Amino acid sequence: MVGYAFMGAAHSQAWRTAGRFFDLPVEPDMAVLCGRDGDATRSAAAKLGWRSVETDWKQLLTRDDVQLIDICTPGDTHAEIAIAALDAGKHVLCEKPLANTVDEARAMVAAAERARARGVHSMVGFNYRRVPAIALARQLIAQGRIGEVRHVRGTYLQDWIVDPEFPLVWRLQKDKAGSGALGDIGAHVIDLAQFVTGDRLTGVSALTETFVKQRPLPAASSGLSASGSTERGEVTVDDTALFIGRFGGGAVAGFEATRFATGRKNALRLEVNGSAGSLAFDFEAMNELSFFDGAEDPATAGFRRILVTEPTHPYAGAWWPPGHGLGYEHTFTHEIADLLRDLGTGAEPSPSFADGLQVQLVLDAVARSAEAGSGWQRIEEVND
């Protein structure tokens, strides 16, 4: 695994846990953690449970005890590492967004296709697809329970940079992160909306905004100026992105991603209205799915709060009795379990790098529309 911050901790827990609750064809061996700073990486490896460390990710390519590389670094490094890994015959799990640009993403898809021909597989880490409630929503739509999809309403609301004194971390720098709320969290809600409906956005009209345009440099890289005030730098990404769009199947959609929704901590919300019913989800109550069944008698119809913890619910049967919910980290455990099972059977893991590229194309269309006065931007189709 490359990287050991927030995502690294979540992935480590997933690698350790997946085989304890799911029947997997192989038992993962957490061989090596890779980071640039040797001491910090050694300390993280001990904490997170990795057997050894490397400080240069290229070493992973040659180690025989490494069959899969899990990339948890910022987006600007994804393409280089992933392509090299695939070309070296290592399976790859790459965190989202797949890349910071469409061009990088295309190159990664090409590498994934080359690798696949040799039995080497890849997956992009849209972990929220593995929330049981989201997987159930997809099932219900696929079964026709809400009929023809008319409306998709997606938001991803956070508030962690409302304070203008919050520092200029890498996620606020375009060269590292590619974009702001759009790529970091907008990518998730776009992917979910397309995953749940089984349909894809074909065009968008967008606007973006950066509310706080300068921020203090982080402690590490900043210093006090002669006058004693903190040095500030430019925020080069969006604080929020909003767009309206159309799906291939005829649905209309509205999306919003922001880190300025005071009080909303992780409100990844999705509502889908169909001709025969509706579904609604909010990650802040991740064990629940709201379902309105239009086939019910109006006298007793209403949005049902389904606790998605029954043995028959996706993933839930591997865990605890009904009503005993799961948490954020389980989305990663499910992701690893699905990945390892697919590697065992030779099935193509999903979401693929092509899926990652397609989301990148949506992000790109949003950014282009926002730059061009909100005019409509068509989204290129991706062949899977």
In the complex with its own copies, the residue whose CB is nearer, 10 or 86, is: 10
Q: How far is the CB of 262 from its own copies (least distance, A)?
A: 5
CA distance 167 to 161: 8
Helix (H) or strand (E) holding 240: strand 240-247
At 219, the amino acid letter reads A
| Shorter beta-carbon distance to its own copies: residue 12 or 73 | 12
Q: How far is the CB of 328 from its own copies (least distance, A)?
A: 4
Give me the torsion for CA of 361, 116, 129, 33, rounded to 10°: -100
CB contact at 8 A, 65 and 31: yes
Closest approach, Cβ 351 to its own copies, in A, equals: 21
Beta sheet of 267-274, edge-to-edge order: 288-293, 277-282, 267-274, 149-157, 252-258, 240-247, 201-209, 377-378
What's the closest the beta carbon of residue 342 comes to its own copies, in angstroms?
21
Count the Cβ atoms, other than its own, within 10 Å of residue 295. Answer: 9
Q: By C-beta, is 123 or 366 nearer to its own copies? A: 366
Q: At what angle do helices 330-345 and 6-21 cross, to 10 degrees?
A: 60
Taking the least distance from each CB to its own copies, the nearer of 273 and 352 is 273
Closest to its own copies by CB, 63 or 203: 203
The least distance separating its own copies from the CB of residue 231, rounded to whole angstroms, comes to 23
270 contacts 252 by C-beta, under 8 angstroms: no
| Residue 240 beta carbon to its own copies: minimum distance, rounded to whole angstroms | 6
**Strand, helix or coil for residue 149:** strand
Q: The tokens of 311 are what?
A: 């043995």
With a CB cutoff of 8 Å and minimum separation 6, the contacts of 297 are none
Beta carbon nearer to its own copies, 39 or 56: 39
Q: How far is the CB of 43 from its own copies (least distance, A)?
A: 12
Select 65 or 284, whichever has its Cβ closest to its own copies: 284
Q: From CA 29, how far away is CA 66, in angstroms rounded?
A: 9
Nearer to its own copies, 13 or 230 (CB): 13
Min separation Cβ 260 and its own copies, Å:
5
What is the b/e burial string over 111-141, where b = at least 16 CB atoms within 10 angstroms of the residue's CB?
bbeebeeeebbbbbbbbbbbbbbbbbbbebb
Name the nearest CA neighbour of 314 among 293, 287, 353, 280: 287
